[in-house]
Chains A and B, each alone.
Chain A
Amino acid sequence: MTSAQVEIQLIASIVAIACAIPGTFLVLRKMAMISDAISHSILPGIVVGFFLTEDLNSPWLILLAALTGVITVFLVEYIQKTGLVKEDTAIGLVFPALFSIGVILIAKNANDIHLDIDAVLLGELAFAPFDRLVVNGIDLGPKSLWVIGTILVLTLGLLFIFFKELKLSTFDKGLATSLGFSPVLLHYGLMSVASVTTVGAFDAVGAVLVVALMIAPPAMAYLLTNDLKKMLALAAFFGVLGALGGYWLAHGLDASIAGSMTSVLGVLFLIVYLFAPDKGLLSVMYRQRRQKIEVHLLTFLLHLQNHEEASERHVKHLNEHINWQTVRSKSVLELALKNNMITISDDIISLTAKGKEFTKEAINYIMTNKSAAIEEMKDRFFLFRG
């Protein structure tokens, strides 16, 4: 690896971590789309800032553009508060308007400004190592590394100081308010961090990847854990994984680095989405199927308990009376047999003592309906699950 390659991967990884932290809170606060809005609406701020400073890495430009991001959030919330349109419509109205202003500003001043809209969307990570920070003739490394590094350090510092407050206001706004933490202050603090990160990162990786890095890694982490600290760590891990994997994919395909990173994140998300234990699609579908069969089993056992007469307990009757398809009634029967709930003699089904006990408790559960009791009960009675 050349030093430029190392630097690119380093920048990408730091951007990924810096995005994952505010992103985690945005995802948890159901405000993920705000990051999309911010990433688009900082454009006019960047253009105006570029007129004033003529340097894409100037801290003033970053602050000015971040301010546009905060203004976006403020505008969105103002429109929401008027109640004239539904919540998400407000987001959808504000950012295209601001983005349009940015595009028009760039187009109108195309001659004075070295800003390309494509670069805004995609970033130019490949060129990042060429723009170096030189102080007193000493090469200190790429400028964007310093910019995004500073932002990461600031974000981490704020995270450590306000972790408790953020956690509380994310999960229980009411309690946070009653304890004297201002949710508004924390909210706008978070939004400012998200804006600053977006602006700092966009030069390196572009607006789209910023959104992907803010949402996809936390979303994956959320499917794997319910612990906030673990979620933050996992999100950072997935972000870095996507960044590094994307870099080498781009290297192999000779294509856009930002696009490759997003695609790798997409594949990672697909894997997590399908296979995450407990919350992944397959596990959810498996659980739903199991619950369905177990509910059927319960209905079936209740039916048996209610009928002493042999005709109602005939195997064939299951298909006719309860009107299940053959396959399902077979699997229900098998499950009941495997768990020693029933015995079958001459195609007549009868409950065993265990089956009776289970049914009794199940009725009791249904009548009192104490939540979660049924799962505990299933654990006690089932040898095999559906």
Chain B
Amino acid sequence: MTIREYIELVFSDYTLRTITLGTAILGAVCGMLGSFAVLRKQSLLGDAISHAALPGIAIAFLITGAKNGNTLLIGALISGLVGTFWIRGIIKKTQLKSDTALGLILSLFFGFGMLLLTFIQKMPNANQAGLDKYLFGQAATLVEADVWLMGIVMTISVLVLFAFWKELKLLLFDVDYAKSLGINTIFLDILITSFIVLAIVIGLQTVGVVLMSAMLLAPAAAARQWTNSLGIMVLLAAIFGAFSGVLGTAVSASSNNLSTGPVIVLIAAIFVVFSFIFSPGRGLLFKEIRYWKNRNDLQLFKTLAFMQNIAKTHEDISHPHAIKILNNFQGYTKRSLKKLESREYITVAGGMWAMTQKGFDKATNLYNQQENTYD
């Protein structure tokens, strides 16, 4: 199947269109809200919440007895919120640290959820089949109503982000200042956490409990590498998330036996790795190049300083000297000589070099951090 055929198929095939749209919206919502989780150092909270949502799904099913998606989601939402606030309670009131609290709630809630699920499976109720799709997610079960729900959640979260943008920004970067301005930080905290829980809950059906946290983190972590501005980061994270969804759906649809959730997560992980390496400001590659450049410059300036020492002994600093006398100096190579010449620090003629005024000044001011007029 060529790419063009696939794109045509997306527009003509109902199931594929629904799934593509659903995963795209989900990726965008998660990326947006995930940015806040990542910046607030709550990355693993998403993991805990998604696991904590499981017993809610099971209990909602036990109470209503119906597999209606929305009631199950409300159950998941409630138990996710209970888990979140219990985590806070543990961190605030006991000596247990955040990692222990997260791990505790995650495993205990999930185990309890599994207990309920296996209990449900033994019940004489034909309806129960398919609850385990919430474990690993099945994007194929998405229907139009689910996509509408995701769309509504996305619209509301965008509106909330716009409405509280300034306040949320302050909450992220300077809580104390926000408090001193009279902003209700507790309300904002609960607001943004609740929306993160909401995003996780609507994603459970698609990517499942186990991998949901990656949907939240990966796009945001990738976006963080490209910008220092919150607005751009949120936008980029939404785009990365949406692309992971669309590409992941495409890859899993084009091959047998590939569940969508893990593929989406892997694509998002590729975005992260690419950003880690190639982002211009923070990326590892450019950092390495910068180091390398600095090291070379250091060698170059060492040579220049040595030359200046020689040139100083003459009244005319541009008095030519033999290149030979540099031979014993460590760090000198023919290349560095050429480089110095190209920067007009010295002139080379025959076997002789002579310092220029510019080179002399540069060497004099080497250790002066303020002086950056050259280069």
Contacts and interface: CB of A to CB of B under 8 A. Distances in A.
B141 interface: no
B259 A107 contact: yes
A240 B262 CA distance: 35
Contact of A211 (B89, B103, B221): B103
A97 interface: yes
B24 to A, nearest CB: 19
A100 B263 contact: yes
A185 interface: no
Contacts of B103: 32-33, 35-36, 211, 214-215
Contacts of B217: 89, 92-93
Contacts of A101: 262, 266
A219 interface: yes
Interface stretch (A133-141, A156-164, A256-264, A340-348): A256-264
A208 B263 contact: no
A79 B284 CA distance: 11
Given A100-B266, A110-B257, A256-B118, A84 B225 contact: yes
A253 B23 CA distance: 38
A99 to B, nearest CB: 6
B211 A32 contact: no
Contacts of B47: 33, 36, 92
B43 interface: yes
A209 B118 CA distance: 15
Interface string B263-289: 101100100100010000010100000
B214 A96 contact: yes
B313 interface: no
Interface string A66-86: 000000000000010010111
Contacts of B261: 100, 103
- Interface of A (DSSP majority class): helix
A377 interface: no
A262 B224 CA distance: 37
B257 A262 contact: no
B46 interface: yes
A273 B94 contact: yes
Interface string B238-251: 00000000000000
A216 B108 contact: yes
A88 B45 CA distance: 10
A284 B117 CA distance: 35
A256 B93 contact: no
A258 B113 CA distance: 11
A219 B104 contact: yes
A238 interface: no
Contact of B111 (A33, A219, A266, A280): A266
A266 B266 contact: no
B43 A89 contact: yes
Nearest to A33: B99
Interface residues of B, number: 60
Residue from the set B97, B104, B110 with the largest chain A CB neighbour count within 10 Å: B104
Interface residues of A, number: 64
Contacts of A255: 115-116, 118-119, 122
A321 interface: no
B165 interface: no
Interface string B76-89: 00000000000001
A87 B265 CA distance: 20
B152 interface: no
B107 interface: yes
Nearest to A108: B257
Given A255-B115, A255-B118, A211 B106 contact: yes
B96 interface: yes
A296 interface: no
Given A281-B93, A284-B93, A89 B221 contact: yes
A82 B263 contact: no
Nearest to A212: B107
A223 B213 CA distance: 29
Given A91-B44, A92-B46, A107 B111 contact: no
Interface in A101-147: 101, 103-104, 107-108, 110, 117-118, 121-122
A33 B115 contact: no
B218 interface: yes
Given A93-B221, A284-B94, A82 B257 contact: no
A30 interface: yes
B135 interface: yes
Contacts of B116: 255, 259
B102 interface: yes
B171 interface: no
B93 A219 contact: no
Nearest to B95: A279
B43 A263 contact: no
Nearest to B287: A82
A88 B41 contact: yes
A313 interface: no
Interface string A27-43: 10011110110001000
Contacts of A96: 210-211, 213-214, 218, 265, 269
Nearest to B276: A84
Contacts of A50: none
B269 A93 contact: yes
B230 interface: no
A353 interface: no
B119 A215 contact: no
Contact of A281 (B89, B115, B117, B276): B89
B93 A36 contact: no
15 contacts: A36-B103, A82-B284, A84-B284, A88-B99, A92-B46, A104-B266, A212-B108, A222-B96, A253-B119, A255-B115, A255-B122, A256-B114, A262-B107, A280-B94, A284-B94
A-B pairs, 6 with minimum CB distance: A262-B111, A259-B115, A96-B214, A100-B262, A212-B107, A259-B114
Given A85-B38, A118-B132, A266-B109, 8 more contacts: A32-B103, A88-B41, A88-B42, A89-B221, A93-B221, A100-B211, A104-B258, A263-B112
